[in-house]
Amino acid sequence: MAKDKVLVVDDNAEFAEFVRTVADGLGHAVEVCANGALAKQSYRTFNPEIIVLDMVMPEIDGIEFVQWLATENCTSRLILVTGFNPNYTDVAKTIGMAKGLGKVTTLNKPVHLTDLRLALNGDDVG
């Protein structure tokens, strides 16, 4: 039986597959979406406990997606990831927490295996 359901939202297929492999190895059920529009649909049907969200994506970026999650009364744990300026994840984390979202973790690409495992297990990354 899977621990938690993990929704991975990232337009980088290689990174999304890395997260899928690690989460699957930890016993999680995983669904991957390449963009925010697909992720919105998946969120409603998959009901994930954890969302791994890339901040820079086409169409709907991470900040817009975090704001949308708040309107959905999301209770999922968020793992925000960026390969760009780490301040971008900090802004999204601040917005999410201000809007009542639960635990938010931030990771910078390249993400280390140990940090991803800790984040998926709900442990502090440091």
Residue 87's CATH number: 3.40.50.2300
Is 49:70 a contact under the CB 8 Å cutoff? no
Long-range contacts (CB closer than 8 Å, 24 or more residues apart) made by 119-122? 119/79, 120/6, 120/22, 120/23, 120/26, 120/28, 120/50, 120/52, 120/79, 121/26, 122/77
User: How many independent structural domains does the chain possess?
Assistant: 1
In a domain, 3, yes or no: no
Q: Give the pLDDT band of residue 49 (cuts 50, 70, 90).
A: very high
In a domain, 42, yes or no: no
Domain holding 25, by residue range, is 12-29+55-120
Q: What CA–CA distance (Å, rounded) separates 26 from 28?
A: 6
1 pLDDT more than 60: no
Q: What CA–CA distance (Å, rounded) separates 14 from 12?
A: 6
Type of residue found at 22:
V
Q: What is the pLDDT of residue 22?
A: 98
In a domain, 63, yes or no: yes
Q: What is the pLDDT of residue 77?
A: 94
In a domain, 74, yes or no: yes
Q: What is the pLDDT of residue 72?
A: 94
Residues 99-112 have pLDDT tens digits of 778 788 889 999 99
